[in-house]
Every structure is written in structure tokens, then in C-alpha cells.
Amino acid sequence: MTWILFMLCLAIAGRELYLAFDRKRSGVAAEIAGVHARLSALQSTREELEKVRAVERDQAERIERLGSAQEEQAASLERADARIRSLIGQINDRVLPEVSARLARQRGAVDRLSAEVARLRGHLAERLDQAAAASLGADPVDTVAGGLGAGTAEPRAELAREFARFARRYGLRVELNVPVPAASAPAPAGEDADGDAPAGDGNTAWRRRCYLSGRSPRGLERDFIGLLSTLRTAGDVGGDPAAATLVDRGVGGDGGEIGAGEGVDGEAAEAVRAARALLDALKQTESGGAQIGPLILARTPESLVCGVLPLAELRGADPAALVADPDGTAERLRRLPEGRRYDASAG
């Protein structure tokens, strides 16, 4: 009986333990389920975090790539800016001066052309005035041809200046200068009516035809023959133009004293000085010449000859040809009578 009671007590105790364990297990299961739920939520959150982190990494990589691209672009812009500055510097150092010089030359050419047009208009107006006066019975204005040239371009400015000065001494005015184009003697560009020309190649020959007004050829022939006589006499009296004028007029020719103010023709002395200046300008070139009406000057490497052509010969003479062939012109002048020629080679 005791064993039965003992076994019954054990059974009751076991049942109570089971029930108690079962009750505890139900709470733990709920907690475990909650833990599992939280773990699942955490897992989802972790996955989302991983996705967010992956997106952030992608964005960081993109930002880094963008930063690198911006740095490369900035470096490229700096290189381009440096290149542009270098090109601007090269333009300022090389191209700009050349362009400025070219523009200055073009501006000078335009100015010279404008001045030439203005002179031509003035010349045309004067010619029309003279024609109108001639129609009313006035004497026509005499015009003579001339020429000027040199084997080199260096002395042309001084030569043209002395040419115009000498012409003015004899009452002549240079009305028009026409460059004479030639393969061997191109005309200097930009030459004005007064004979001034811009500097050019010193080895370039040049020639031009001139038209002068104010004196008749016959009066010039007489005056130029007297000039050559005075130049020859000046060579005999030591080159003094005033003394040469007096000797040429028969004053002091017998060795007597020539007074400083004794009937000296000041205009003639000035004309001699102007002629000397023109001859000196011609001596600066080895080849060249000048013509004013009947007066011809021919410069060769060996000589400088002056002569007054007779008006009959002058009618068939081309001023450009006389200046273009100084050797032939010099030979032609040497064949003139002594009173019509003068050798200024040693003067």
C-alpha cells in the first residue's frame, strides 16, 4: 500500500512539474518568437543598411570620379589658359607689330593717295583757270618735260628735293611726277608730287617723268647755257659762284681784284649753288640722271656730264629714255658744242 501511495505521489509530482515546465515553456516560446521576430527585423534592417551603404559607396565613388574629372577639367582649363596667354604674348610680340606696321603703311599710302588726289584736283582747277584765261586772250602757260632717276633708291629723297629746289630757282614748278615702271627700275611706291619718297630697298633703281610749268623752253635754253658757262668759270676761280658770275660778265677777268659787292648777281649765284647741290646729290649714286627742259645731267660711274640740248633735238627726245640710259646720254652730251656742255666729274 505504501508503494502505491509513493508511486501516486511521484506521479502527481511529475504531473505538476510537467505542467509547471509547460507553462514556463509557453512564455519562453513567446519570447523566442519575439526574439526571432526582432532578429528577422534586424536582418531586414541590416540588409537595408547594406543596400544604403552600397548606394552610399556608389555615390561616394561617383562623387570621387566627379571630383577627379573636375580636377582634370580644371587642369585642362589651366593648360588652355596658359596656352591662350602664350598665344596672346606671341601675337603681341610678333604679329601685332607686323600688323601695326602694315596698317601704318596702308594708312600712309591712303594719306599719300588723298594728298595726290587733292593735288590733281588743284592742278586740274589751275589748268581750267588757265584755259579760261587763254580763251579771253591771255598768254598760255608754258610747260616743259623733265625726268629724274638713279641706279639706287638711297639718294632719291635728297635728289628729288634738290631737283625741285633747282627748278624753283629758274621759275619752274613741278606740276606732276609720273613713276616710270620698268623691270630693271621699278618706281618707288608712295612717291609724292614734291619728290619725297618713303625709304625702300637701297639697291632698287627708280625713275620718273616730270612736268614743270612757268618758263618757256627757249628762255630756259638761254639761261641754262649761261649757267654752264658760269659753272665752267667757277671751276677756274676756285668754285666761288659770285666770283664766277663776275668773271663771266667780264669783271675782274684780267686778274684785278673782285669786290665782294661789285655788281654781283645774287640770283645767278643762288642758281649756281642750287646747281651744285643737284650735282652733289647725283654724285651719291653711280648711275642716274636728271632733265629740266633742255638741260640734261647724266651720271655714270666714271663721270658726271651736263649739257643743253638744242630745242630741235629736244622735240624728239624722250625724258624717260634720256634718264634711263645715262651712258648713252653722256656720250651724246659730249658731242655737243663746248658752250653747251660742262663736265662736272671733277667738280
Q: Which residues contact 79 (CB under 8 A, 6 or more apart)?
A: none
Cell numbers describing residue 241: 659762284
| Residues whose CB is less than 8 angstroms from the CB of residue 180 and which lie 6 or more positions away in sequence, other chains included | 147, 149, 187, 207, 208, 209, 320, 324
Q: What CA–CA distance (Å, rounded) separates 75 from 239?
A: 81
Cell of 73: 577639367
pLDDT reported for residue 19: 72
Q: Which residues does 62 contact at the CB level (< 8 Å), separation at least 6?
A: none
Side-chain-side CA neighbours of 225 within 13 Å: the count stands at 13
- Write the DSSP string, 245-314: HHHHTTSSTTS----TTSS--HHHHHHHHHHHHHHHHHTTSSSEEEEETTEEEEE-SS-EEEEE--HHHH
What stretch of H or E contains 343? strand 341-343
CA–CA–CA angle 15, 18, 21 (5° rounding): 150
CA–CA separation, 177 and 175 (whole Å): 7
* Residue 67, C-beta contacts closer than 8 angstroms, at least 6 positions apart: none
Are the C-beta atoms of residues 147 and 290 closer than 8 Å to each other? yes
pLDDT of the residue at 107: 93
Distance, CA of 97 to CA of 102 (rounded, Å): 8
Contact 207, 200 (CB under 8 A): no
Strand partners, 123: none
User: Residue 103: enclosing H or E segment and its boundaries?
Assistant: helix 96-135
Written as nine digits, the cell of 205 is 633703281
* Complete DSSP assignment for 160-215: HHHHHHHHHHTT-EEEEEEE---SSSPPPTT--TTS------TT--EEEEEEEESS
pLDDT in tens, the chain (347 residues): 787 877 888 888 877 777 776 666 666 667 777 777 888 888 888 888 888 888 888 888 989 888 888 889 999 999 999 999 988 888 888 887 888 889 999 999 999 899 888 888 887 888 788 788 878 877 777 888 899 988 877 778 888 899 999 999 999 988 888 887 754 444 444 444 444 444 444 455 678 888 898 888 999 999 999 999 988 886 544 445 444 444 444 433 333 333 333 333 677 788 889 999 999 999 888 888 999 999 999 999 889 999 999 988 887 777 667 788 889 989 999 999 999 999 988 75
Number of Cα atoms under 13 Å in the Cβ half of residue 44: 5
Confidence at residue 26, expressed as pLDDT on a 0 to 100 scale: 61
Q: How far is CA 54 from CA 48, 51, 59, 64, in A?
A: 10, 5, 8, 15
